[in-house]
Structure 1
Amino acid sequence: MSLETLAPASDLGTDDFDEAVLDALAAADYRFKVWGGDWCVDCQQQLPAFGAALAAAGVPDDRIEAFPVTKGPNGKEGPQVEAYDIDLIPTVVVETPDGEEVARFVEEANVTIAEFIARQLADIEVSA
């Protein structure tokens, strides 16, 4: 099963994103783990723009893992759901190449997923 909603929105390109956001996404060889469901309205609304931001930032496909989630009788079900404590979708976890979690987006915010993640990553750079 794939996560089709993560496919980049065709109407968004590099010029549609803040340069600082793209720089943050492209920095440090971060790994992006994305949980969502093609049936989920929040995912349908948010993930295509996030996919486009990752593409505009030049993040290679081998650093993006998509985990399709289904609705089960006891909540969300799918790969790594329990290991990463996934309750709401979309959820995006950003890890260093060593597997350390450095940022997490869960379901919604007052900015896009890309902006939210970029702010968290910028905080890491400032405190480092």
Structure 2
Amino acid sequence: MTLETLVPDGADANSLDDDVLTALGAGDYRFKVWGGDWCGDCRRQLPAFAAALDAAGVPDDRIEDFPVTKGPDGKEGEGVDEYGIDLIPTVVVESADGVELARFVEEEDVSIAEYLARELAEAEASA
């Protein structure tokens, strides 16, 4: 099963700053996305994030989606326990060797793409 909400579906990345797209497309980042097609926040945010990844030239093989369901004890799905996923959407950005560099959880004051670009720039500056 894949996330239908992780499809650009008419979302426009043209409003994003070129620096955001450059940051997302830099390096060999791996994007791991947890969400649910039933989730309002995911339906609102993930299509625009997918459009940003597309505009940044991130290849599909560096994007993994993990559909999440609601269970009696909280969120359920692949990687939920391993990555400590409590809220969705959650996007984890890892280096090619699996080191977590940035994490977006549910809601911030800017889009997922802008938030992760800022976090990745800070991670690169401190490296």
With normalisation by structure 1, the TM-score equals 0.96
Q: Give CA deviations for 1:81-117 in whole Å, capped at 9, x if unaligned.
A: 0000000000000000000000000000010000000
1:64-79 superposed matches below 5 A: 64-79=63-78
- Contact in 1 for aligned 2:11/2:48 (Cα 8 Å): no
Paired AA for residue 22 in structure 1: L
Instruction: Give the equivalent residue in structure 2 for 1:53.
Output: 52
Instruction: Describe how 1:1-128 pairs up with structure 2 within 5 A.
Output: 1-13=1-13, 15-128=14-127
Q: CA deviation at 1:124?
A: 1.4
Q: What SS class does the counterpart of residue 28 from structure 1 fall into?
A: coil
Q: Secondary structure at the match of 2:81?
A: coil
Letter matched to residue 122 of structure 1:
A
* Number of corresponding residues: 127
Q: Equivalents in 1 of 2:76, 2:124: separation in Å?
A: 34
* Structure 1 residues not aligned, in runs of 5+: none
Opposite residue 127 of structure 1, the aligned amino acid is S
Post-superposition CA distance 1:64-85 (Å, at most 9, x none): 0000000000000001100000
Instruction: State the percentage of identical aligned residues.
Output: 69
RMSD (CA atoms): 0.9
Segments of 4+ in structure 1 off by > 2 A? none
SS in 2 for 1:82: helix
